[in-house]
Structure 1
Amino acid sequence: MYKDKCNSKNRFSGMAENYNRFRPTYSSDTIRFLNDAIDFNENLVLADIGAGTGISSKMFLENGNEVYAVEPNEDMRIVLERVLSKYEKFHSVEGSSEVTNLQSESIDVVISAQSLHWFNPKLATKEFSRILKSNGMIVVIYNIRRNNLEGFMSEYSDLISKYGEKYINKSDDNLISKFFGERKVYEKILYNPQVVNFEELKGNLTSYSYVPKENNPKFKNMIEELKNIYDKYNKDGKITLEYDTYVSCCKIK
């Protein structure tokens, strides 16, 4: 079930800098897959909905696309604008998945990167249909931790489950189908490892909205346990965070 919209707008307040520095980028093969699957090219106009600090927007701007980065959270949007203002085809928009504030039939492809779970499926689909041109597409991108591994990733996942809010650990396997229904969906899983030091590992952990922050009594113990795991598994000061980038795309109009 999607998270409460109002809650999601405020949930990342005060976390934007950490999010921008330590969240993983998406697989470099993402655009190559889209080229093959839906004839994606640099001439398409994109709306990146729930753009956050611009991790996904940057990838498409560097591909040459015009990108309207729609973000409801002011803290996130401030970082987004600072990071991406150098790109001529970048546009920052205060809006949400339900009210994007974009013109009707102005967008070729809607991008949702690491944000679909915050959307109301019915209202968002209606809004995307409004802003998309004929033959418009939706592309959903997620970085997902590999939780079924032994060693470091297993213990890191256990740590997150231990300290994270309980509701966040419940995934929705029907998330994509709620948006795409019976339409044909093109999907790809792309391996996306991230090699980090301890500072970056700590930043990755604390960038999640559902783990304790520094003013929480649990924070100190969480970081101590994280350091123990890091000390156990690091090689020459580095740890590999094992991610897969999941890409799904579908024509909805």
Structure 2
Amino acid sequence: MQDPTRRFSNRADSYARYRPAYPEELLDLLAAECGLAPGLAVADVGSGTGILSRLLLERGAEVYGVEPNREMREAGERLLAGYENFTSVAGTAEATTLPGNSVGLVSAGQAFHWFDPTGAREEFGRILVPGGRVALVWNSPLYGASPLMRDYRRLLERFGTDWEKVTHLEVDAGTLRPFFGGSFEERLLRNRQTFDRESLEGRLLSSSFVPGPGDERCSPMLEELSGVFSRHQRGGEVVFEYEVRVFHGSLEG
């Protein structure tokens, strides 16, 4: 499988424009359970184009966006240029470069499945202050939620390059238990995006496991996507459904 730190190098713009943000309920949860508050130092690891970092910044946190991929990191820097409480960091989950005992929360949005869990646990434990928390978050498409989502899944099964391998990387409470090493909480929220035909194509092309422009399989894939859109659009739009999976806890167990 392609090096996860380089998978999105040619997809950064599409990722920034077409991937979903997170619902306000997530930020409320992080405030209630993980101490998110103005002034809290947060390491947003695998921060990518800054989607989660921006929401943390809007809650007043001091955010260190740790991202190994140059193109994704630069896209995040452009998005977050107006936030004085944002620092962009070229680092990985296993080697953030941040000082020890320097952050009260480590977040990872749409990223932990690319980490080495053992190395990440050691590094997160190093940079967290005593009592600090870790929050792992995913916007997971609900492929069975509607006819649109089922057709979209069939398209991925047909054209995805290593889609099945990537889906097997998804984690659950069982696989995360050794990482947290003790008690942790799981919460499920809901999210959605509304797309027109152009933005649905952008959402598809933001995925690292589909053929991109220049690949001979891209044109037939986009033709099939047009058919999917035409079948399910209402008023020129379709609705993409997500389950937001949140796992949070300490590493002190």
User: Paired residue for 1:47?
Assistant: 43
User: Paired residue for 1:168?
Assistant: 166
Q: Deviation at 1:43?
A: 2.8
Query: Given that residues 47 and 67 in structure 2 are in contact (C-alpha distance below 8 angstroms), is that contact kept between their aligned partners in structure 1?
Result: yes
Query: Given that residues 37 and 186 in structure 1 are in contact (C-alpha distance below 8 angstroms), is that contact kept between their aligned partners in structure 2?
Result: no
**TM-score calculated relative to the size of structure 1:** 0.94
CA–CA distance in structure 2, aligned partners of residues 67 and 61 of structure 1: 6
Change (3 A) 1:199 1:175: farther
Q: Does 1:184 align with 2:183?
A: yes
Structure 2 unmatched runs, 5+ = none
Query: Aligned to 1:112, which of 108, 113, 120?
Result: 108
Matching residue's letter, 1:214: P
1:1-253 maps to which residues of 2 (within 5 A)? 7-164=3-160, 165=162, 166-170=164-168, 171-173=170-172, 174-181=174-181, 183-253=182-252
Matching residue's letter, 2:176: I
Structure 1 segments (4+ residues) deviating >3 Å: 171-175
CA–CA distance in structure 2, aligned partners of residues 156 and 147 of structure 1: 7
Query: Given that residues 26 and 192 in structure 1 are in contact (C-alpha distance below 8 angstroms), is that contact kept between their aligned partners in structure 2?
Result: yes
Query: Given that residues 47 and 67 in structure 1 are in contact (C-alpha distance below 8 angstroms), is that contact kept between their aligned partners in structure 2?
Result: yes
CA–CA distance in structure 1, aligned partners of residues 22 and 242 of structure 2: 9
Q: Deviation at 1:69?
A: 0.2
CA–CA distance in structure 2, aligned partners of residues 78 and 49 of structure 1: 15
CA–CA distance in structure 2, aligned partners of residues 145 and 100 of structure 1: 29
Query: Given that residues 13 and 76 in structure 1 are in contact (C-alpha distance below 8 angstroms), is that contact kept between their aligned partners in structure 2?
Result: yes
CA–CA distance in structure 1, aligned partners of residues 87 and 55 of structure 2: 14
Q: Deviation at 1:172?
A: 4.2
Q: Deviations 1:118-157 (Å, cap 9, x if unpaired)?
A: 1111111001111110101100010000122241111011
* Amino-acid identity (%): 35
Matching residue's letter, 1:138: V
RMSD, matched Cα = 1.4
SS at the partner of 1:77?
helix
Query: Given that residues 36 and 61 in structure 2 are in contact (C-alpha distance below 8 angstroms), is that contact kept between their aligned partners in structure 1?
Result: no
Q: Deviation at 1:35?
A: 2.4
Question: Number of paired residues?
Answer: 248
CA–CA distance in structure 2, aligned partners of residues 78 and 150 of structure 1: 36
Change (3 A) 1:201 1:70: same
SS at the partner of 2:87?
strand
Query: Given that residues 141 and 248 in structure 1 are in contact (C-alpha distance below 8 angstroms), is that contact kept between their aligned partners in structure 2?
Result: yes
SS at the partner of 2:68?
coil
Query: Given that residues 53 and 76 in structure 1 are in contact (C-alpha distance below 8 angstroms), is that contact kept between their aligned partners in structure 2?
Result: yes
**TM-score calculated relative to the size of structure 2:** 0.94
